[in-house]
Homo-oligomer: A and B are copies of this chain.
């Protein structure tokens, strides 16, 4: 086992050994790409569903962008295979049911699990049948899981052995609204969230809805999206969440409506967010008059947050942007991994990645 260290350069021998399961999907592959750039971890195994694993296809054949980066193959995901790789940590970019089954088994072997599915996100096990279609059989593991939203939960993550990495839509909402709700600035009526996601959010399995000729701006999952209970749980108030699909590759833009309590000013909202995020490398609260765009965060681990208040109606509009595959999935997972293993939190994550490494190298 690796012991957490805080920000010290680590020796090569001590690099945590990491396995990615679900490496043939978009989120898993994004994690592989980040870990290949990371430098502070050893990527020791890639696993996927049987569809890809039968052929033990090389990762860089599945994703030609990474030709020459790695010669790892994506093998069939079996417990034995994973254990053979002797990982310190496993990233599960797998369906909810697969994560539900796999995580406790890996935990029992002392492996740190970072799960990108929803299998360990909802605190109430009774919510699973209705929202995810299966009864939760690992309530102990669920009770011990830590919600992996790094900026809001850093200390717990540093000690956690099972980290439930947040969903993409929830990340885009919770980062902005949780501090505002906790500060008591809202009037208690439901928050209304209209989000638009690029097509990568639907995954890499071929489907009519994801074809270039079919993707078109549209709502879906109205009053029934699985992410709504996760938002309600973590934001701390009722949320009416409507996801939309947009005709582009990556990125989520969320526009959020809330009613302020009497007397709460825009400045009060800004103060709460400033206090929370002024020193965070991955959250940028924009100045008044500026609004986020998907383009500005694409391919990065950033969350951009902007807001305005209409005083007459006490109506608060908050808009946020993230890359659904990075801050909304793989980047967030690596951020949690870094926290958990005492590595500089931004390693592997775009520009900020190698600040620490580089500083050491150049001094």
Contacts and interface: CB of A to CB of B under 8 A. Distances in A.
A283 to B, nearest CB: 10
A182 interface: no
Contacts of A284: 67-68
A212 B199 contact: yes
Report how many copies the assembly holds.
Answer: 4
Interface string A1-23: 00000000111100100000000
Given A64-B296, A213-B204, A248-B247, A219 B319 contact: yes
B240 A12 contact: no
Contacts of A275: none
Contacts of A190: 313, 315
A356 B39 CA distance: 11
Interface size for chain A: under 10, 10 to 19, 20 to 34, or 35 or more residues?
A: 35 or more
B223 A253 contact: no
Contacts of A208: 204, 206
Given A354-B357, A357-B357, A361-B360, A291 B218 contact: yes
A351 interface: yes
Q: Which of A194, A242, A300 has the most CB of B within 10 A?
A: A194
A215 interface: yes
A246 B217 contact: yes
A195 B348 CA distance: 34
A361 B9 CA distance: 7
Interface of A: 9-12, 15, 26, 36-37, 39-40, 64-65, 67-69, 190, 192, 194, 196, 198-200, 204, 206-208, 210-220, 222-223, 238, 240, 242, 244, 246-251, 253, 255, 257, 284, 286, 290-300, 304, 308, 310, 313, 315, 317, 319, 321, 350-351, 353-363
Given A246-B247, A360-B361, 4 more contacts: A64-B304, A65-B300, A198-B213, A216-B251
22 contacts: A36-B351, A64-B293, A190-B313, A194-B255, A196-B244, A199-B213, A210-B211, A211-B212, A212-B212, A216-B298, A217-B251, A217-B293, A219-B255, A219-B292, A222-B308, A222-B317, A222-B319, A223-B308, A244-B255, A247-B248, A358-B358, A360-B360
